[in-house]
Amino acid sequence: MNAPDSFIHTALSPAVGQSQPHESARAQVAGAALYVDDIPEVKGTLHAAPILSNVAHGRLLGIDASEALAMPGVRAVLTTSDIPGDPMLATFTHDEPIFARDTVQHVGQVAGLVVADTVMQARHAARRVKLRIDPLPAVLDVREAVAAKSWVLPPVTVKRGDAAAALARAAHRLQGSLEVGGQEHFYLEGQVAYALPLEQNQWWVHASTQHPGEIQHWVAHALGVASNAVTVECRRMGGGFGGKETQAGHVAVWAALAAQRTGRPVKLRLDRDDDFMITGKRHPFAYDWDVGFDATGRITGLKLMLAANCGFSADLSGPVADRAVFHADNAYFLEDVEIVSYRCRTNVQSHTAFRGFGGPQGMIVTEAILGDIARHLGLDALTVRQRNFYGTTERNVTHYGMTVEDNIVAPLVERLAADARYAERRAEIARWNATQPVLRRGIAITPVKFGISFTATFFNQAGALVNVYTDGSVQVNHGGTEMGQGLHTKVCQIVADELGLPFERVRITASHTGKVPNASATAASSGTDLNGRAAQFAAREVRARLAAYVAAQQGCQPEDIVFQGGRVRGPGGTLTWEQVVDDAYHARVQLWSDGFYATPKIHYDKHTLSGRPFYYFAYGAACTEVAIDTLTGESRVLCVDILHDAGRSINPAIDIGQIEGGFIQGMGWLTTEQLVWTGKGHLATHAPSTYKIPATGDLPAHLHVALWPEANREDNVAGSKAVGEPPFMLALSVFEAMRDAVAAARGGGPVRLDAPATAEHVLKALQAPAT
């Protein structure tokens, strides 16, 4: 959509900084790229389908599979008693059964599997298995869970200063509440795994997963074997978005158990409706807030309650809720502040990672508060936001005690406001609104400051393996996974530059637990930071060995040898890369190496949530203009300008794609994507007919993305910054622009609008009594 900004790179790094097409792009558009369900099936492969609970909470008294077992093609029915290892999943909290045991805890919980010759035979038979359930009272609402103290993990409080005293002496004060919905990942490729028995109780699992290492661990634990008996492989996913960080593990464990039970290869590909019913989503949140501020709109005190609806088990809810607390400040200095975070247990799907990982849910409430402060005081919302920004030398310590050292939010927002003509357009919109009987427009600029690193410090490590073959071709493996975000392309660019080779000489293969062990999930946007660096170190090691070999031949120092453009140059002459590799091989020089990277500087106390959880911050800002129809509540996003900080971009085309995609996905979360559970806990919106992600027709007519032209101030690979998740939160500008348009129709004052801003919610906000 945009011509990528150009960057200056040294002659020694010709691949990094280029808009190299995605390494699979051509194969993907040609239908030649393999996903798990495309892998040619081994003879004898069977297919599994899950048996689902249709009750939100109850005692599971018995399972009657007799009718299913009599159906054509059915080979087996598995329940919890068929698990040779631990019947609980090997999650950190160990609170999730593999198959429902004595209770069911949500509609869609898997109580067992049917295994049959074909997918459809298995699915039909699974519907005929009868669960005998004695219903119990279910907790479905997050506020109900708070009242009942129904937690998956204990509450966490983070405070600085004295919020109560600051509120008591504040010149102005506002209180409010907010409800924000969840989000279905809607990866194009649904959850799928294919498990194959090998000899001597060993297993091979093809899985669509962001975390092959965790699947290896979970499968081994369920089968009662050691990790060295399980290999997990993933060439690519058709999207993950956090929904395949843990949720892919359940499917893989089920497939492996069915393979173990039948002694046959088993594939489990979830039907889309079942995927909606079984797997967790973005956490819905509820908030109460009480804010004090001065006449300029500067916040002087804040009490904030965040309640995360976690569903029936903990899954990743602890770190998700932590990240929401860490991002409640977004880009703003909160001096006297008290934040309470509840991690609520409810009888729905177990909510999980989703792009931003709690960050969006932390930021949205503070953006809403700032918008309301501006409307209460009759000030411009951007001015109020700017007055609350972190400083660069003072007012620069977060509520969790981390000094913000790389703050660029003020100049970045200033430049975006100028480029997008914010002030002029705000005046034009006000004039336009004054002439309109029905439509109202709104505009908002919101910033993003997103912390990069896994909050659990130990996850911030990565390994890689670079193999140079005797023909001079290079194969790279690393612990990360490809889900469409372009990680593999960036890693190949980094390795090509390190070895002075054209990009085409470097090939990446599937992520594989046997090649790089103990890898963290590809998550927290840190895929390139971690794996790119590990691969760079591996390649550097190979280059150092070759340089030492050539230097010995030419009687010079290794530093005198230059690798560039497929050639190796020294004082004694220039050789082709292929010649050097072939000579070195015959001289018995090791042509491959591993590499390892651990992020420096980070540490934090997980009990008090204080320290430096993040290596650096990624910044950005968006200016969004919307229109609403005050009679129907319908809306459109008209015009979007984004200025985003990807550091020195490794691949501008891919980074701009991430920014556009992240923004539009965030726009969907805040506008049309509404999850509706019935009073009995059934997810009523379990297919694209009722769950509306943005379609091409919903794209804003104007969507412009520019990159901030400055390298990462921390020493990160190639000067880049992580870009996978931060742009998602640029969509908060859509929500604030909606609230601006609602305020225009109401004649000013605070606006109570719940997310997503569906037509119903917008109408409700328009009609709510003034506060």
Interacting residues with ligand MTE (CB under 6 A): 239-242, 355, 483-485, 487, 522-528, 658, 661, 722, 724-725
- Using rule CB under 6 A, residue 217 touches ligand HPA: no
- Using rule CB under 6 A, residue 523 touches ligand MOS: yes
> CA 111 from chain center: how many Å?
28
Both tokens assigned to 539: 């390649």
Torsion over CA: 553, 559, 560, 561 (sign): positive
Minimum CB separation from ligand MTE for residue 475, in Å?
20
- Using rule CB under 6 A, residue 524 touches ligand HPA: yes
What does 483 bind: ligand HPA, ligand MTE, ligand MOS, none (CB cut-off 5 to 8 Å by kind)?
A: ligand MTE
- Using rule CB under 6 A, residue 523 touches ligand HPA: yes
- Using rule CB under 6 A, residue 218 touches ligand HPA: no
- What span, in angstroms and rounded, lies between the C-alpha atoms of 756 and 517? 41
Spatial neighbors of 363 by CB under 8 A, at least 6 apart, are: 327, 328, 330, 448, 729, 732
- Using rule CB under 6 A, residue 524 touches ligand MOS: yes
Minimum CB separation from ligand MTE for residue 453, in Å?
11
- Using rule CB under 6 A, residue 612 touches ligand MOS: no
Both tokens assigned to 530: 């971690």
Identify residue 633 by its one-letter amino acid code: G
Both tokens assigned to 55: 């009750």
Minimum CB separation from ligand MTE for residue 8, in Å?
24
CB atoms within 10 A of CB 634: 14
Both tokens assigned to 475: 């194969």
Query: Beta strand pairing status for 203-207 and 230-234?
Result: parallel
Asked whether the beta carbons of 82 and 310 are under 8 A apart, the reply is: no
Helix (H) or strand (E) holding 751: none
**Helical spans, DSSP H, in 82-223:** 119-126, 142-147, 163-168, 212-223
What is the chain's Cα-based Rg?
Answer: 27
- Using rule CB under 6 A, residue 360 touches ligand HPA: no
* Torsion angle of C-alpha atoms 512, 513, 516, 518, degrees rounded to 10: 140
User: Between residues 369 and 483, which has the closer beta carbon with respect to ligand MTE?
Assistant: 483
Applying the rule CB under 6 A, the residues between 230 and 289 that interact with ligand HPA are 245
Both tokens assigned to 580: 């050097």
- Using rule CB under 6 A, residue 319 touches ligand HPA: yes
Minimum CB separation from ligand MTE for residue 252, in Å?
18
Q: What track of x and - describes contact with ligand MOS for positions 245 through 284 (by CB under 6 A)?
A: x---------------------------------------
Number of residues that bind ligand MOS (CB under 6 A): 10
User: Between residues 388 and 453, which has the closer beta carbon with respect to ligand HPA?
Assistant: 453
Spatial neighbors of 612 by CB under 8 A, at least 6 apart, are: 401, 402, 601, 602, 603, 604
- What span, in angstroms and rounded, lies between the C-alpha atoms of 317 and 310? 6
- Using rule CB under 6 A, residue 321 touches ligand HPA: no
Both tokens assigned to 485: 């975000």
Applying the rule CB under 6 A, the residues between 178 and 217 that interact with ligand MOS are 210
User: Between residues 105 and 481, which has the closer beta carbon with respect to ligand MOS?
Assistant: 481
User: Between residues 167 and 523, which has the closer beta carbon with respect to ligand MTE?
Assistant: 523
Minimum CB separation from ligand MTE for residue 320, in Å?
12
User: Between residues 570 and 662, which has the closer beta carbon with respect to ligand MTE?
Assistant: 662
One of 353, 416, 492, 763 touching ligand HPA (CB under 6 A): 353
What does 456 bind: ligand HPA, ligand MOS, ligand MTE, none (CB cut-off 5 to 8 Å by kind)?
A: ligand HPA
What does 194 bind: ligand MTE, ligand MOS, ligand HPA, none (CB cut-off 5 to 8 Å by kind)?
A: none
Query: Of 193, 195, 76, whose CA–CA distance to 125 is shortest?
Result: 76
- Using rule CB under 6 A, residue 454 touches ligand HPA: yes
> Is residue 184 annotated as part of the catalytic site, yes or no?
no
Cα–Cα distances in angstroms (integers) from residue 291 to residues 80, 167, 296, 449, 624, in the given order:
50, 7, 14, 21, 26
Both tokens assigned to 59: 């005692």
What does 484 bind: ligand MOS, ligand MTE, ligand HPA, none (CB cut-off 5 to 8 Å by kind)?
A: ligand MTE
Cα–Cα distances in angstroms (integers) from residue 306 to residues 66, 103, 327, 479, in the given order:
47, 29, 12, 34
Query: Of 652, 668, 638, whose CA–CA distance to 720 is shortest?
Result: 652
Identified catalytic residue from 96, 214, 673, 725:
725
Applying the rule CB under 6 A, the residues between 453 and 472 that interact with ligand MOS are none
Query: Of 417, 506, 404, 442, whose CA–CA distance to 740 is shortest?
Result: 442
What does 454 bind: ligand HPA, ligand MOS, ligand MTE, none (CB cut-off 5 to 8 Å by kind)?
A: ligand HPA
Burial of 136 (0-12, 13-18, 19+ CB in 10 A): middle
- Using rule CB under 6 A, residue 739 touches ligand HPA: no
Applying the rule CB under 6 A, the residues between 345 and 364 that interact with ligand MOS are 353-355, 357
Binding site for ligand MOS (CB under 6 A): 210, 242, 245, 353-355, 357, 523-524, 725
Active-site positions? 725
Binding site for ligand HPA (CB under 6 A): 245, 316, 319, 323, 353, 357, 454-456, 459, 521, 523-524
